[in-house]
Amino acid sequence: MTTTTREQREQHDPWPAPVATGPVSATVAVPGSKSGTNRALVLAALADGASRLRGPLRSRDTLLMAAALRNLGAQVTDAPATDPGPAGADLVVTGPVGAINGGLASIDCGNAGTVARFTPALATLAKGDVHFDGDPRMRERPLTPLLAALRELGARIDGDRMPFTVRGGGGIAGGAVTVDASTSSQLVSGLLLAASRFERGATVTHAGHRLPSGPYLDMTVADLRAAGVTVHVDVPGPGDRPSGTADAASIRRWRVEPGGPAPLDRVIEPDLNSATAFLAAAVATGGQVTIPGWPAHTEQPGRLLPELLVAMGAEAELRPEGLRVTGGGRITGIDADLSDFGEAAPVLTGLAVLADTPSRLRGIAHLRLQETDRLAALASELGKLGARIAVTDDGLRIDPVPLRGARLDPHADHRLAMTFAVVGLAVPGVTIDDIATTGKTVPDFARMWTSMLAG
């Protein structure tokens, strides 16, 4: 077994990033949204009855979520797509979670923030002990505020960080709780998604010095409401402010009424984050890439992508066949606050090192706590190409200089691997270790990339 793995690594690592021989011209159908698929899976597992997900993502993060929900007593099965398209089979999910085989379950969170933050609240509904663990990096990522909040709402949990065990007693009381989600919005989403199954629902207040990835909280609320759950959202007044918080803008409150979601029939949107690298290829090569199925209205923060690429010198047009981005030949640096859309920061950094003018990416201190310390890893790995990237308190400053090829390590981070592929289009001699790490969200990335280049 071990020998095979080493042989495979020797054959396939590192991956020579293809250099573009001219402007790319391609239509690229990207797989379904990770965030949409994993929210729909969770809500379906909480519903009493059968739900259908159309066009779901099948990647490491969503397969881990499906396995977690099965371990918690839901059924998750493939079903032929009723409307066959590039997305493949549907998923049918039958809930509710609760009955654990043998009264003991074990959940592998991998390095999936959504699994680690969305499933502990579900485990409080189970009748038995649920043990949680994940990749070494997941043991370092923020979780403690969520576990503390669940305890306050009535859960019994052994441990304050991963690995930990939820001693499921078949439900919790719920009620009011304050959580500091300044390190990850998922700490709030993980409470809200399950709260309609708590006896009294939940009132969740975020109090902290910032709240990153706000659109994902809007997505959580929209998905709950679409499943029939009543959610109130408000910004508390100054008198309601928990002590130690200064800024009203950094406090938000959600009220989820008890009742549980209804079974869903949901079409999963394409993942606009996964589209980022492909659209960036158009910008890097002065070419043209179209993403079919780009939604006209969406909660995904990827809706901000066209204006960011336009600020870097591209053109973007939503057409009947999809979003079309056309590179302008030269790339302009940007100064952008990415607190709502941190996932774009790696690929935009990849474009920024190829630009004519400096860039500043702000509002992304929380990227230090994601799949890897993204700020440090982008600076050090792209630094191997000669790039000049300074890590600031809340982001990156990039001063473009001529680059040379080098072997890059994506630090087990899918978005870094895709970023290096973008840079490799314009810089000969870039090779990337462990390109398969892209399978966290894009299972077939290397093949999709080469077929995009082939037109």
Ligand X SMILES: O=C(O)C1=C[C@@H](OP(=O)(O)O)[C@@H](O)[C@H](O)C1
Ligand Y SMILES: C=C(OP(=O)(O)O)C(=O)O
In the set 269, 343, 371, 381, the catalytic residue is: 343
Decide whether 108 or 129 has the Cβ nearer to ligand Y. 108
31 forms part of the interface with ligand Y (CB under 6 A): no
Task: Indicate which single residue of 59, 370, 437, 438 sits in contact with ligand Y (rule: CB under 6 A).
Answer: 370
Decide whether 374 or 397 has the Cβ nearer to ligand X. 374
98 forms part of the interface with ligand Y (CB under 6 A): no
- Of 242, 277, 238, residue with least CA distance to 432: 277
Binding part of the chain for ligand Y, among 70-78, 112-120, 304-312, 392-400 by CB under 6 A, reads 112-120
DSSP string covering 3-43, please?
HHHHHHHHHH-SEEPPPPSS--EEE--PPBPHHHHHHHHHH
* Beta carbon of residue 301, minimum distance to ligand Y (angstroms, whole number): 11
Asked whether residue 384 is marked as a ligand-binding residue, the answer is: no
* Beta carbon of residue 286, minimum distance to ligand Y (angstroms, whole number): 27
Binding part of the chain for ligand X, among 96-104, 181-189, 325-333, 394-402 by CB under 6 A, reads 181-189
CA 228 – CA 222 distance, rounded (Å): 10
CA 365 – CA 58 distance, rounded (Å): 29
Cβ atoms of 122 and 194 closer than 8 Å:
yes
CA 245 – CA 235 distance, rounded (Å): 14
> From ligand Y, ligand X, none, which one binds at residue 285 (CB under 5 to 8 Å depending on kind)?
none
Find the helix or strand (DSSP H, E) in which 68 lies.
helix 60-71
CB half-sphere exposure, 241, CA atoms < 13 A: 14
Q: Residue 10 catalytic?
A: no
Decide whether 26 or 417 has the Cβ nearer to ligand Y. 417
Query: Torsions phi, psi of 254, nearest 5?
Result: -130, 140
CA-only gyration radius of the chain, Å: 22
Q: Between 386 and 405, how does the x/- string for binding to ligand Y read (CB under 6 A)?
A: --------------------
Decide whether 134 or 286 has the Cβ nearer to ligand Y. 134
415 forms part of the interface with ligand Y (CB under 6 A): yes
> From ligand Y, ligand X, none, which one binds at residue 415 (CB under 5 to 8 Å depending on kind)?
ligand Y
Task: Indicate which single residue of 60, 266, 366, 397 sits in contact with ligand X (rule: CB under 6 A).
Answer: 366
Asked whether residue 343 is marked as a ligand-binding residue, the answer is: yes
SS3 letters across 191-258: HHHHHCCCCCCEEEEEECCCCCCHHHHHHHHHHHHHCCCCEEEECCCHHHCCCCCCCHHHEEEEEECC
Cβ atoms of 400 and 355 closer than 8 Å:
yes
184 forms part of the interface with ligand X (CB under 6 A): yes
302 forms part of the interface with ligand Y (CB under 6 A): no
Q: Between 136 and 175, how does the x/- string for binding to ligand X read (CB under 6 A)?
A: ----------------------------------------
37 forms part of the interface with ligand Y (CB under 6 A): no
**Sign of the Cα pseudo-torsion (380, 435, 85, 287, in order):** positive
Asked whether residue 185 is marked as a ligand-binding residue, the answer is: yes
Count Cβ atoms within 10 A of the Cβ of residue 105 and give its class: 0-12 exposed, 13-18 middle, 19 or more buried. Answer: buried
Task: Indicate which single residue of 109, 112, 264, 377 sits in contact with ligand Y (rule: CB under 6 A).
Answer: 112
Q: Between 334 and 363, how does the x/- string for binding to ligand X read (CB under 6 A)?
A: --------xx--------------------
Task: Indicate which single residue of 51, 114, 182, 183 sits in contact with ligand Y (rule: CB under 6 A).
Answer: 114
CA 248 – CA 211 distance, rounded (Å): 11
Decide whether 274 or 290 has the Cβ nearer to ligand Y. 274
Cβ atoms of 118 and 42 closer than 8 Å:
yes
For the beta carbon of residue 24, count every other beta carbon within 10 angstroms. Answer: 23
Q: Between 423 and 442, how does the x/- string for binding to ligand X read (CB under 6 A)?
A: --------------------
What's the maximum distance between 2 C-alpha atoms anywhere in the chain?
64
DSSP-assigned letter for residue 395: E
Sheet with 90-95: strands ordered across: 75-79, 90-95, 49-54, 265-267
* Beta carbon of residue 371, minimum distance to ligand Y (angstroms, whole number): 6
113 forms part of the interface with ligand Y (CB under 6 A): yes
Asked whether residue 127 is marked as a ligand-binding residue, the answer is: no
Known catalytic residues are: 343
Binding site for ligand X (CB under 6 A): 35, 113-114, 184-186, 189, 212-213, 216, 342-343, 366
Summarize the annotated binding site as residue ranges. 34-35, 39, 113, 141, 184-186, 213, 343, 370, 374, 415, 440
Summarize the annotated binding site for phosphoenolpyruvate as residue ranges. 34, 113, 141, 186, 374, 415, 440
Binding site for ligand Y (CB under 6 A): 112-114, 343, 370-371, 415, 441
